[in-house]
Each structure stands twice: as C-alpha cells, then as structure tokens.
Amino acid sequence: MAKYKMILDLDTGVDDALALAYAVGAPEVDLIGIISSYGNTLVDIAAQNSLDLLHLLGADDVPVFIGESHSSTTDHFDVMNISQLIHGKNGIGDVTLTPSPRQVEKETGVDFLIRAAHDYHEDLILVPTGPLTNLAAAIKKDNQVAELIGQTTLMGGALTVPGNVTPFTEANIHQDPEAADFVFTHQKNLTMVGLDVTLRTLLTKNETAEWRHLNSEAGEKFASLMDFYIDAYYNLDIDKRGAALHDPLAVAVSIDPTYITGLPLNMRVTYNTENGDYGRTIGDKTQLLAPTTSKAAVLVDTDRFVKDFQNMMLTVLK
C-alpha cells in the first residue's frame, strides 16, 4: 500500500513527461491527480499531453485538472521560442501520441489542490515542476493550504549556479516570480530542487536505446521524446554530454530526500525589475534568525539517482 498521496503540477514538456512516468511507477506513492500549468507549452496543451501520456502508460485512472493559464500579474501567456526549441512545438518533442479517451476534470486545479490538502494533510506530497502560480492561488484562496500539505518539493530556482533564462533566474521561477515569492514565504515544508542539482543529472542516448529495446510502444515514444530533448541540449550548446533530468529529480527527492543534500534556508524571490536580478531565488536576510521552513538542494548523489531513474523507467515502459 502506498505511503503517500502525490499531486504533480506539470507544464507538461519532455522532462515533465519523465517525472510523470516516474510517479506512475513509484510504489511509495499513489498519484491522485495532475494539475496542468503553463510554461513549456500552453496550459490546455499541457493537460492534453498529461492525459495522453497517462493513457500510454496505462494509468487512465489518474485525473487531470486545468490550472491557471498565465502568471498572477499578466492576462495571457506566450510560449518562449527557446521552450519550443527544447521541448518541441507540442511540448513533448513533437512526438505524436494516441489521444486519451478521457477529458480533463470539471473541477479546477486550484480547487482540487485545496480539497486534497484538507483530505490528506501530512500524507500529501505536492510536486510543482513549472511556475508556482497554482500553489500561490490555492494558498490565497485558502491559507490553510500552506500548513496542511505534508511536503512540497518543487523543481525551480538556482541558488549557487547561474539561471538558464538570465544570469540569476531559472525558467520556472521566471514565469511568475511574484507567485514564487509568495509560495517561498508562506508554504511550509518546502524543498527547492533547482539547477544546482538537476544540471548534475544527465541522461544520454545510451539509456534511451535501452528503452527502445523493450519493444513497447511506451518505450519507443519516450525514447523519441527524450532523444529530441538530448539533441536540443546538444544543438543549443546547453550540454553536449546529455540532457538534465530536472523534473524527475524533484519527484524522486519528494519520495527519498536522501538523494540530495539540502541547505536549510528561508528564501525569497526577487521581482523588482529595476535591480537586474528579477526572479532570483536567494536567502531572506530578514529571516536568518527565524525558524527554517524550507531548504534548497545543493548537492545530489548523481550516480545513484541516474541509476535508480533508469531502472524505474525500464520497469514503467515495459
């Protein structure tokens, strides 16, 4: 029997797809829902990608909910060109999947998160792998959410390394720094899995070749979307050794925190456009003597995680 209930908050691009597969396969958790977000693609496309990926993996029992479609300070969202180059125009490496027979749920993602927080309390794990707009909206609608959720492990931010959008800012945080700052200063039991550690976890075509050798539809499709991602990393000179397992690492850490070394730190996100560090994740100097409610991952057991991730994928994709 699963120890925890898990909700994924995905802007379903390539590494989100890997995170979804990892969560589906993890015996320690019961994946009770996916909230769609914007970022790698538009919110509606992200939701459909999640539905189709769940269908591919035989996990049609997991509901998908629509979250917020843009940041808390704008009235629309446009996908960045670099996101399309990395994730493909459809968000999943331009791979075509069999459409899911299901539709998204009528309940909003924000309301689903609030309901789950009240239902499961400390047994609930939330893993946002896109902007933090949905979580911020849930807390603002019901401030008990910040205390009820047992654990929130997000993929985003950069504490000790440069960002991947600006010298200071990581892409997920960049989408909605105001919401991210609100979450960092309100949500309890928060772990930031940022570029500090995710950039150390690389997958190569050696691993995706093993997925293809499973001779399954899931193995073939996931290999194709990941190979697109690896090629994008190479062609854009992001990393020629492989592609980072950003979002899957967040899911893994939420289940087994020993994958990382965390620095206890109360953090803020800057969003003053005049300072040049818009979207920076940094320690809150006004809270240095206060009890610590969050931590940032600064080291990762790379070899163990990549090996465990590959073993999980070989099981899930059969």
How far separated are the first and last CA of the chain, in Å rounded?
A: 22
Query: For residues 180 and 173, is the Cβ–Cβ distance under 8 A?
Result: yes
Cβ atoms within 10 A of the Cβ of 38, count?
A: 26
Helix ranges restricted to H, the chain: 14-25, 43-56, 81-87, 109-120, 133-141, 145-148, 171-175, 177-186, 195-198, 205-212, 217-235, 246-255, 302-316
Report which residue type is found at 298: V
Is 186 marked active-site?
no
Vertex 309, ends 308 and 313: CA angle to 5°?
A: 115
Active-site pick, 70, 87, 186, 246: 246
Distances (CA, A) of 26 to 122, 169, 210, 226, 270: 19, 31, 20, 20, 35
312 φ/ψ angles, rounded to the nearest 5 degrees: -65, -45
Q: Which helix (H) or strand (E) holds 298?
A: strand 294-300
Q: Does residue 127 sit in helix, strand or coil?
A: strand
Left, alpha or beta for 22 (phi > 0: left; psi -120 to 50: alpha)?
alpha
130 contacts 20 by C-beta, under 8 angstroms: no
User: Angle 246-255/302-316 helices, nearest 10 degrees?
Assistant: 90
Known catalytic residues?
A: 246
